[in-house]
Structures are given as structure tokens and as C-alpha cells.
Structure 1
Amino acid sequence: MLVLTRKTNETIKIGEDIEVTVLSISGDQVKLGIKAPRDVEVHRQEIYEEIQLENHQASKPVANMMDILQTINDTKPRP
């Protein structure tokens, strides 16, 4: 991990296309501005992990078709 010290309004370049600028510092919070191409996804860590979990859940195989049909039949209203 590269560790850098920056002050307000100072920028870090990542490659040719990404800039991270320190916008403000207040107590233990740092506000960052990130300039990146539209095709580069930028997420907070907790949101990224949630997306990964949802993608993993969506990729799981569907239950056995007979189980699905049985569930549908069980939930149909009876005459």
C-alpha cells in the first residue's frame, strides 16, 4: 500500500485518467473529490461489498423446477 500525505486542495493522480483531490478536512473526516472516466466505477467500500454480494446471490442456480411449481401450487387460492 502506498501511503501519501496531502493537504486540502492537493491532488493524487492514478494513471493518466484518475485524480483524487482532498476537498476538505474536518476532525477525523476527509472529503475527497474523484475525477475518473465514466467507464470506471467508483464506490465506497461498503457499497462495493454489497454489490458483490448481490451479484453472487444472483449467480446462484435457481431451485429445482419441481420445487418452484409446488410452491406456486401451494400459494394458489383454493376454490
Structure 2
Amino acid sequence: MLVISRKKGESLLIGDDVEITIIKVENGSVKIAINAPKEIGILRKELYVEVTDENQRAVIFDVSALEKLKK
């Protein structure tokens, strides 16, 4: 993991196509702007984890429901 310090107005680059700029720092919160190609999905991690967990529960439910139908 890379840990880097940036101030308001400063940016960092990820590869050739993604630029992250610090827009605002206030009350322990940071507002960032992300400039990336449309093909690159950008998700908040907590939403990604929530959807992934929900999908896993759905698969488990479907499998167990199918097992009950087999009997």
C-alpha cells in the first residue's frame, strides 16, 4: 500500500489514465475529484462490499433452496 500526503489542489496519477485531485479538506473529511476513462468503474468500497456480500447471500440462498427442491 502506498501512503502519500497531498494538499488541497494537488493531484496524484494512477497509470496514464486516472488522476485524483484533492478538492477540499475539512473536519477530518477529504473531498476528491477523480478523472478517469468511462470504461473504468469507480465505486465506494463500502458499497462494493455490500453488493458483493448480498450477491454471496443470494447464491447461498439459491443453492439451499435448490437442495430442498431436490428432496
Instruction: Pick the TM interval, shorter chain.
Output: 0.7 to 0.9
Pair 1:27–1:65, CA change in 2 (3 A): closer
Residues in 1 aligned to 2:52 and 2:34: alpha-carbon distance in whole angstroms: 22
Match for residue 59 of structure 1?
Answer: 59
Corresponding residue number in structure 1 for 2:17: 17
Deviation at 1:34, TM superposition (A): 0.8
What TM-score do you get using the length of structure 1 for normalisation?
Answer: 0.71
Q: Which runs of 5+ in 2 are unaligned?
A: none
Aligned length: 67
1:28-54 CA distance string (max 9 Å, x none): 011011111112111111101012112
Please name the residue that 1:30 is paired with.
Answer: 30
Percent identity at matched positions?
36
Q: Aligned to 1:63, what secondary structure does the other structure show?
A: helix
Larger radius of gyration: 1
Amino acid at match of 2:40: V
Shift of 1:58: 3.6
Please state which structure has a larger fraction of its residues in helix.
2
